[in-house]
Amino acid sequence: MAQQGEKPMPNYIKFVLGGLAGMGATCFVQPLDLVKNRMQLSGVGDPSKAYKTSFHAVKDILGREGVLAMYTGLSAGLLRQATYTTARLGIYTWLFEACSKEGQPPSFAVKAVLGMVAGVAGAFVGTPAEVALIRMTSDGNLPAAERRNYSWAGNALVRITKEEGVRVLWRGALPTMGRAMVVNAAQLASYSQAKQFLLSTGYLGDDIKCHFAASMVSGLMTTAASMPVDIAKTRIQNMKIIDGKPEYSGAFDVLGKVVRNEGFFSLWKGFTPYFARLGPHTVLTFIFLEQMTSSYRLYILGNKETRGSL
């Protein structure tokens, strides 16, 4: 929303700040991500690493592998933000401004479409880093002889390309892009909408309090929207063949069966741990993005009226 007499922010800066915001958030959230990946894959490989609870996992990793092990795969986590979040936040803030007319942000439906477009594009460029990330964070679960021992994300990408072929870098790209569509429509659109609403009440200015509140709303909405997608993905990845037929024919089949057999609200089983991971990342990413954007406007462009970017 460029306002009168204000110097516009170059588009490439939107990409740079988006990526930096995601990377900053990842530095805080990486240990949570590692524990989650270890939990999801526990039982595959080393049976002594079949963790019962997250607390048990943290204790075991700290005891056996040390504090630094909590940051295993940080380089891949950062690379994932440098690709995925640079693209999705850059594209979203750029399109958001392009679709705003005379300082009026686009409607919620348009915001949701922009979020989907940004998410799909981001997921496509981010998939190689995600493959590296999952392999690096779970390496410690495998028996020593089967470990891949990637030294850092770049090494993982080069070795995967050499040892398995470049297509393996985009393994799972389609479901990742589908999920990113839902996640980003929810996350980006609900953030902009919540922020717009909070500003319109007149109680909050475009400052960190408003950004915190709007990003909490966004984190909750994103969790609610992405959990059914996640349960479909997890059940399909885990399904058995019964009487020669696969248990589920696809994502919608999973959702239908869960609703019929377990009740509608079971789609959101495990809401709290899911939110515990997604919430902080969402809040930190938006707060960093808004802070960097308003500093950029104030100190580099010299605009007096500072405001966030979305």
Ligand X SMILES: *[C@@H]1O[C@H](CO)[C@@H](O)[C@H](O)[C@H]1NC(C)=O
Q: Which chain residues interact with ligand X by CB under 6 A?
A: 144-145, 147-149
Helix axes 86-98, 108-138, angle to 10 degrees: 170
> Nearest distance from residue 140's CB to ligand X, in Å?
11
| C-beta nearest to ligand X: residue | 149
> Nearest distance from residue 41's CB to ligand X, in Å?
17
> Nearest distance from residue 142's CB to ligand X, in Å?
9
> Nearest distance from residue 153's CB to ligand X, in Å?
16
Distance CA 85, CA 82 (A): 6
Distance CA 59, CA 74 (A): 19
User: Counting every residue, how long is the chain?
Assistant: 310
> Nearest distance from residue 144's CB to ligand X, in Å?
5
Nearer to ligand X, 110 or 142 (CB): 142
Distance CA 251, CA 268 (A): 15
Nearest to 116 by CA among 55, 180, 161, 207: 180
> Nearest distance from residue 143's CB to ligand X, in Å?
9
Nearer to ligand X, 159 or 235 (CB): 159
Nearer to ligand X, 90 or 140 (CB): 140
Nearer to ligand X, 147 or 257 (CB): 147
CA torsion, points 117, 118, 119, 125, in degrees to nearest 10? 110
Bridge partners (DSSP) of residue 241 are 246
Nearer to ligand X, 135 or 211 (CB): 135
Nearer to ligand X, 144 or 242 (CB): 144
Nearer to ligand X, 101 or 162 (CB): 162
Nearer to ligand X, 155 or 196 (CB): 155
> Nearest distance from residue 130's CB to ligand X, in Å?
21
Cβ neighbors of 285 (< 8 A, separation 6 or more) are 21, 22, 24, 25, 85, 89, 215
The residue type of 170 is W
Nearest to 288 by CA among 273, 309, 266: 309
The answer to whether the beta carbons of residues 274 and 215 sit under 8 Å apart is: no
> Nearest distance from residue 147's CB to ligand X, in Å?
4
Helix (H, G, I), strand (E, B) or coil at 153: helix
Distance CA 7, CA 2 (A): 8
